[in-house]
Amino acid sequence: MGEQQHVKFPQEVIDEYAALGVDLPALFSAGHLGNRMGVQILEASAERVVGTMPVEGNTQPYGLLHGGASAVLAETLGSVGSMLHGGVSKIAVGVDLNCTHHRGVRSGLVTGVATPVHRGRTTATYEIVISDEQGKRVCSARLTCLLREVTAKDAGNLPEAGAAAGA
């Protein structure tokens, strides 16, 4: 669960990361938490990131999609957009996340779409709209990430090319 083999990246972005020996789909995966929650990133560019998450397994005691699950989906998608905007020399670190929950969902799949509100040199802000399978808005979120330079310590934590293939 959670493998990112169907993510669509712009070819020039794939080439830029591959030249550094970085496995782009592994780098921009949903991470351990997102994988456990079933987050799938379907499309990713600095202009638009799309991902889905099942409601099942991500509910609160009343059987509704947990607000924290929506926050995980929102932060994952906004962070991916921020990282792609920052490029290979920057790391995106979330500094502010705001979520407004509009309606409850009990089953199915929710889809999040992250689009930029601001893309600067040191910060990036994305609006993330999460909708149910009928296209009704479930949650509106906004994420701001600090974009900081990659350090040698950070570089040691980046997935290398071929690492995902050997897993």
- Residue 48 backbone phi and psi in degrees, to 5: -165, 130
- Residue 21 backbone phi and psi in degrees, to 5: 80, 25
> Chain-centre distance of CA 127, in angstroms?
12
Determine the residue type at 165.
A
| Residues 6 or more apart in contact with residue 127 via CB below 8 angstroms | 114, 115, 116, 117, 140, 141, 142
Q: Is 75 a catalytic residue?
A: yes
Q: Out of 3, 16, 43, 75, pick the active-site residue.
A: 75
Residues 140 and 99: beta-carbon distance below 8 Å? yes
> Chain-centre distance of CA 32, in angstroms?
12
Residues with catalytic annotation?
A: 75
